[in-house]
A and B are shown apart, each in its own frame.
Chain A
């Protein structure tokens, strides 16, 4: 039984698509999966999605003093519903799987009430999200994360980089942690489309299309990319499409204006998923200039779509991408990034080899069925450890 505070159609961050894809892939492998999550206008309280049984609970819609208090109140309802389900189908549920601190209260209580092994996936940590712990609010969340990882028999995180962060900020011992990367569903990137017609919406003929997708915040290194633009244009004609939102948007727009690049850099707001997917497929290069990245799903999307990648290889990105094979790794400086982009745009055969190797890599290591298989093995290990423990199944 999985616990997640978001699940489609309620999508707030990366946990919703993760739980959606993982639970369905596990169900295809014959695992009986229950998901307990928050309600969403128009979504049913109970439904079965590709074999996954989804329960949506009233997530407390009244005003609360802060997000953490809302989370506590939401957990009350989540636990009440889950207890009811568990009491009815006690013999069918063998594992509790919690996604992040947001469901800690409910999942930990249930672990003890039903004596089931608890598994926690830590998608990110408060320490990493806010670059340190500075006030009591953050201390409370970090303490909750520590409590959850202490109560969990095993902990899953998405990269070697996160493994280090969890060990350092939450003091989780090594033996408890499994690294399982995020996955990607490549089929939406394979539907037929009219490439030229789509490209003409963004670039003139003869212009190359360079893509950035991500939040406009400092840690994504988006300002480095803007600074790299003039040097690329010196050698080759291109248009830079930047998709996202964030507090740096106005600064970026101003900087682009100052540099006289308004015609060459198109800063869009959020675009719908379908358009973004097509942009990945139509792009001649995709730049991921992050300075901090726990995993880097954007790289998987570019790889699945066949967009040659230029990246700084920071954090989890360095585990996904290999320099000169599936991407060009640049230093986090404008000069280096512009050189890498130029190389990809000027040498189509080189770009094609990157494209091909990246696609091979994404389909051989990051398919959801492979990720689900790894998760299933963790489930099995959890079960055998549990059976050897002092808690005898009832």
Chain B
């Protein structure tokens, strides 16, 4: 079955901050061979819509509020813009997404609201956790980020991790049952397993 997939990510080429940009680009490109994919991401330029192919579109939105005092306020005002873009695709282009794949904590609240408003299920892909990244996980800002990860961990229908270690970290840090977290290694079956996860979630609706 051909799926219509929305991918939410805070980095996507040419905005490359870490390895995640390349990972999400590869994911979007490979998924788009058999499915329709929209990547919704941020970029500090005027609104930019790029049609890479018939089945892959990139939407880049700037932050509506400038400047910001920290990454949490930055992500959360951007979240409303992400919601706007998905709503515009939904209403104006009459495209119903089958699933949202959100990467990392930045836009989990966009995915949560979209799920509640339009009934689109969402998968959350963790690339790492704040409590392991941060030098002081108990600092207020890290606690906020952890809180947002927690929102995502509870509201999502399934969690994907890229390593076994991260799978067990997600389970212990956010207290989610092992059955909710799926570890998908980057092997030949990577794309198939990802699609399988999407389909499971959709079937469970």
* Interfacial residues, chain A to chain B (CB-CB below 8 A): 60, 62-66, 68-69, 72-73, 75-76, 79-80, 83-84, 86-87, 104-105, 108-110, 112-115, 136-137, 139-140, 143-144, 147, 391
Residues in chain A near residue B116, CB distance under 8 A:
80, 83-84, 87
Given A109-B80, A147-B64, verify A136-B69 contact (CB < 8 Å): yes
In the bound complex, CA of A350 to CA of B109 (Å): 61
Contact present for A68 and B73 (CB under 8 Å): yes
Contact present for A112 and B140 (CB under 8 Å): no
Contact present for B117 and A83 (CB under 8 Å): yes
Given A64-B144, A79-B113, verify A112-B69 contact (CB < 8 Å): no
Q: How many A-B residue pairs have CB under 8 A?
A: 107
In-complex Cβ contact of A147 among B77, B79, B117, B147 (8 A):
B77
Residues in chain B near residue A87, CB distance under 8 A:
116-117
CB nearest neighbor in B for A139: B67
What is the minimal beta-carbon distance from B202 to any residue of chain A, in angstroms?
A: 19
Chain B count of residues within 8 A CB distance of the other chain: 34
Contact present for B87 and A113 (CB under 8 Å): yes
Given A76-B109, A87-B117, verify A69-B66 contact (CB < 8 Å): no
What is the minimal beta-carbon distance from A73 to any residue of chain B, in angstroms?
A: 6
CB nearest neighbor in B for A146: B65
Q: A60-B147, A113-B83 are in contact. List 9 more A-B contacts (CB 8 A).
A: A62-B147, A63-B140, A64-B143, A72-B77, A80-B151, A104-B80, A108-B84, A113-B114, A139-B66
Residues in chain B near residue A108, CB distance under 8 A:
64, 80, 84
The 7 closest A-B pairs by CB, nearest first: A109-B80, A112-B84, A72-B76, A83-B116, A109-B83, A63-B140, A112-B87
Interface residues of B in 60-114 (CB under 8 A from A): 64-70, 72-73, 76-77, 79-80, 83-84, 87-88, 91, 109-110, 112-114
In-complex Cβ contact of A140 among B69, B88, B114, B151 (8 A):
B69
Residues in chain B near residue A79, CB distance under 8 A:
109, 113
Contact present for B87 and A140 (CB under 8 Å): no
In the bound complex, CA of A72 to CA of B148 (Å): 11
In the bound complex, CA of A105 to CA of B113 (Å): 12
In the bound complex, CA of A86 to CA of B118 (Å): 11
Residues in chain B near residue A75, CB distance under 8 A:
76
Q: Taking the complex as formed, is B48 at the interface, i.e. its CB lies under 8 A from any CB of chain A? A: no
Residues in chain B near residue A137, CB distance under 8 A:
69
CB nearest neighbor in B for A76: B109
Q: Taking the complex as formed, is B173 at the interface, i.e. its CB lies under 8 A from any CB of chain A? A: no
